Copies of this chain bind each other. A is one copy, B any other.
Amino acid sequence: MEVIRKNFKEALPLVAASVKKADFLVIDTEFTGIINGRDVSMFDTPEEYYKCTQKGSSEFLLIQFGLCAFHWNHKEKHYMNDAYNFYLFPRGSPGPDRMFMCQSSSLDFLASQGFDFNKLIKDGISYMTVPIECKLRENLTERQKTYSKGKDSIKVPDEHKAYVEDICNQVHQFLEEGQLDEMEIDKCNSFVRLLLFQELRARFKDKILVETKILENKNRLLNVKRVKSQDDLKNHDALKKEREWEDFEDAVGFSKVARMISESEKLVVGHNMLLDVMHTLNHFFQPLPAEYTQFKEFTHCMFPHILDTKYMSSLPPFKDKVNSSILKHLLATLSAAPFSLPKVVSDEGRGYSQLHEKHHEAGYDAYVTGLCFLAMHSHLANMRGDDTTRFLSITSPLIKPFLNKVFLSRTAHQDSPFINLAGPEPLPPRDHVFHLAFPREWQRNEITQLFSPFGPITVQFIDDTSAFVALARREQATSVSKALAKHSKITLTSYYKYKKINDTPSSKTATKTAEVANDCKKTEKTPVRTSALQINATGTTPVNKVIIPEKVPRDRSNSVSPITPPRKRTFSTSSGGFEVNELESPTKKLKDASETKKRIDEKIIDRFDSEAKPACVTVFKDDDCWD
């Protein structure tokens, strides 16, 4: 079901009913861009990954939200889907006038998938965060109190006096003649309207009501209405206030749906869902914290049960059978033996079937993600000898290994770190990774040749003269360091050392402190990560945090670490919803990558065809499908 602002009010109770009866919910979103600034790296830790994504993506807008609620048909023993595809556009007034970023390649991609931008801007549903909502609610309440008070006046400038007099005479005549109930005053700019508003109110007081009227084409008129009784005046004020509150509720708009999902505490499924979750929190709840641990707590508090089908498909028993976990490919894989898709139907006009084939429409992608989840869930159940296709409970042991773990795109070839929202997560070692500075004329060939005695490598270019190089034969790390230490044309630095020097948030002032902090812990074998160096809200006092990676098993299937329950913070106030944390001012949050919504592997072609170095940095950025 497509939901736009015209049918939002009617859809809201339907959505509530769907959420209520659902066994689980699936979400998917579309935004105006993916990443601004530095891209994620395949060597990032989960924390680095989050910070990079938070910094690089928060200024983009969420423009489509797909919600697919799966509920069980007891009689027919299969799932039904209620699907909603919401177009979202937070237009100004009474909400705030939003400034937001777009990425041209993202819009280009969405357009090629049939995304309707005219519908978006004309008919999109508004939304706002909780802090903004509270602020505006307060403002409106305050403003309405002043309605009964008198207004003061602005002097009419000489050049407008004649015109104002003329209009006043016209209104006088309109009142005298008493034939019409309304008259309109056109063709004046806002200043003249202001003058007229004031003069007419002063001269004709309780005899007329003066209002600005906005036409369909945004032209403005002054509308003058004859007052027939004193009740007219009273009703007018009451009606006006009521209308303002209605408009305000419309502006809060979609946020209500997001909060409904949160309050249900049901399992929320997504595919490659980090960005979906981040944008959902950032746009409908409150700005994301810069701190990684705060983000995990906040997310876990708002959505206590999350499952990422991309993460699920990347673990045994699916890993070896899934050639590509791009959503469309995953669906194809799960449609054939040894898997099978469950029967899922919908009431007429209320959900999708596979025939719709609306890939990259958020609602459809949510539906497909739900199918994938059910197929994988059934497969696991079958392996245990169960033949139910129903997902019964969030405490089911079948989903436990996957619960609250979020996939991190593009890190797969480097031990696939993931985010564990419900506890700490392992940090994959980076002892086999080096930062390499090389001559400008070098291409990939020269680098491969340099490392050839040590086996195959993975190269991630940073710019024209530097790259990260990872060894496939990790045990060669020490030999590499020794052998290339004195090489005349290149400089090789261990990854940890390089990060230590470079990962200071505001490099110049903070570097020194960072070095001091790091020196305390420096050993070659127990690498110290300094990426958590932070600047407080005023940007002046660096706070040091030194995190030492735990020793972790390399096999991801073993990585289900013991869950430490996070400190639950209270997000609730009398005004409903939850407490507004005074986080730092909304900082720029940026980038990530997920192949389904987030395209732009266009430039990979340059690489296939030319393998040219100048394009490599961009190339890495764009090939979302490296997993």
State in angstroms the CA–CA spacing of A238 and B542 once bound together. 56
The closest CB in chain B to the CB of A472 belongs to B155
Q: A206: CB under 8 A from chain B?
A: no
Q: A151: CB under 8 A from chain B?
A: yes
Give the residues in chain B near A458, CB-CB below 8 Å: 154
State in angstroms the CA–CA spacing of A108 and B608 once bound together. 41
* Interface pair B104/A193, CB less than 8 Å apart: no
Partner of A329, one of B187, B197, B359, B612: B187
Q: Given A101-B100, A109-B218, A456-B155, are A608 and B139 neighbors across the interface (CB < 8 Å)?
A: no
* Interface pair B102/A218, CB less than 8 Å apart: no
The closest CB in chain B to the CB of A122 belongs to B111
CB distance from A440 to the nearest CB of B (A): 11
* Interface pair A443/B191, CB less than 8 Å apart: no
Q: Given A102-B99, A191-B623, are A413 and B218 neighbors across the interface (CB < 8 Å)?
A: no
* Interface pair A610/B143, CB less than 8 Å apart: yes
State in angstroms the CA–CA spacing of A101 and B324 once bound together. 34
Interface string of A571-600 (1 = CB under 8 A from B): 000000000000000000000000100011
State in angstroms the CA–CA spacing of A107 and B92 once bound together. 10
Could you list some 18 contacts between A and B, CB below 8 A? A89-B104, A90-B104, A92-B104, A98-B103, A101-B101, A112-B217, A113-B217, A117-B121, A155-B456, A187-B324, A187-B329, A188-B324, A189-B329, A189-B595, A190-B623, A191-B627, A192-B324, A211-B609
The closest CB in chain B to the CB of A213 belongs to B605
Give the residues in chain B near A190, CB-CB below 8 Å: 601, 604, 623-626
Partner of A93, one of B90, B105, B116, B220: B105
Q: A445: CB under 8 A from chain B?
A: yes
Q: A401: CB under 8 A from chain B?
A: no
Give the residues in chain B near A610, CB-CB below 8 Å: 143-144, 146-147
How many chain copies does the complex carry?
2
Q: A181: CB under 8 A from chain B?
A: no
Q: A48: CB under 8 A from chain B?
A: no
Q: A448: CB under 8 A from chain B?
A: yes
Partner of A111, one of B121, B187, B359, B614: B121
CB distance from A451 to the nearest CB of B (A): 11
CB distance from A242 to the nearest CB of B (A): 14
Number of A residues, CB within 8 Å of B: 104
CB distance from A626 to the nearest CB of B (A): 5
Q: A395: CB under 8 A from chain B?
A: no
Q: A246: CB under 8 A from chain B?
A: no
Partner of A105, one of B97, B332, B606: B97
Give the residues in chain B near A614, CB-CB below 8 Å: 139, 142-143
Q: A564: CB under 8 A from chain B?
A: no
CB distance from A139 to the nearest CB of B (A): 5
Which 10 pairs across A and B sit closest by C-beta, in order of nearness? A189-B625, A117-B117, A155-B456, A190-B625, A92-B105, A143-B612, A98-B104, A189-B324, A111-B121, A152-B445
Q: Given A104-B90, A610-B143, are A112 and B218 neighbors across the interface (CB < 8 Å)?
A: yes
Q: Given A89-B104, A157-B413, are A602 and B99 neighbors across the interface (CB < 8 Å)?
A: no
* Interface pair B116/A118, CB less than 8 Å apart: yes
Interface string of A114-127 (1 = CB under 8 A from B): 00111011100000
Give the residues in chain B near A601, CB-CB below 8 Å: 190, 220
Give the residues in chain B near A170, CB-CB below 8 Å: none
Q: A474: CB under 8 A from chain B?
A: no
Q: Given A102-B100, A152-B448, A627-B191, are A212 and B89 neighbors across the interface (CB < 8 Å)?
A: no
State in angstroms the CA–CA spacing of A436 and B194 once bound together. 23
State in angstroms the CA–CA spacing of A216 and B111 once bound together. 11
State in angstroms the CA–CA spacing of A89 and B103 once bound together. 11
Interface string of A58-96 (1 = CB under 8 A from B): 000100000000000000000000000000011111000
State in angstroms the CA–CA spacing of A188 and B163 once bound together. 71
Q: A497: CB under 8 A from chain B?
A: no
Q: A159: CB under 8 A from chain B?
A: yes
Q: A615: CB under 8 A from chain B?
A: yes
Within 8 A of B (CB), among A213-238: 214, 216-218, 220
* Interface pair A111/B100, CB less than 8 Å apart: no
Give the residues in chain B near A110, CB-CB below 8 Å: 121
State in angstroms the CA–CA spacing of A93 and B150 once bound together. 59
State in angstroms the CA–CA spacing of A91 and B108 once bound together. 7
Q: A293: CB under 8 A from chain B?
A: no
Q: A444: CB under 8 A from chain B?
A: yes
State in angstroms the CA–CA spacing of A100 and B101 once bound together. 5
Q: Given A112-B217, A212-B604, are A146 and B443 neighbors across the interface (CB < 8 Å)?
A: yes
Give the residues in chain B near A608, CB-CB below 8 Å: 193-194, 197, 212
State in angstroms the CA–CA spacing of A267 and B239 once bound together. 54
* Interface pair B605/A212, CB less than 8 Å apart: yes
Q: A603: CB under 8 A from chain B?
A: yes
Most buried by B among A606, A610, A626: A610
Within 8 A of B (CB), among A398-434: 413
* Interface pair B604/A194, CB less than 8 Å apart: yes
Q: A272: CB under 8 A from chain B?
A: no
Q: Given A152-B448, A601-B220, are A36 and B113 neighbors across the interface (CB < 8 Å)?
A: no
Give the residues in chain B near A193, CB-CB below 8 Å: 604, 608
Partner of A192, one of B98, B102, B194, B323: B323
State in angstroms the CA–CA spacing of A190 and B600 once bound together. 11
Q: A33: CB under 8 A from chain B?
A: yes
Q: A556: CB under 8 A from chain B?
A: no
The closest CB in chain B to the CB of A240 belongs to B609
Q: A611: CB under 8 A from chain B?
A: yes
Most buried by B among A109, A139, A190: A190
State in angstroms the CA–CA spacing of A382 and B449 once bound together. 81
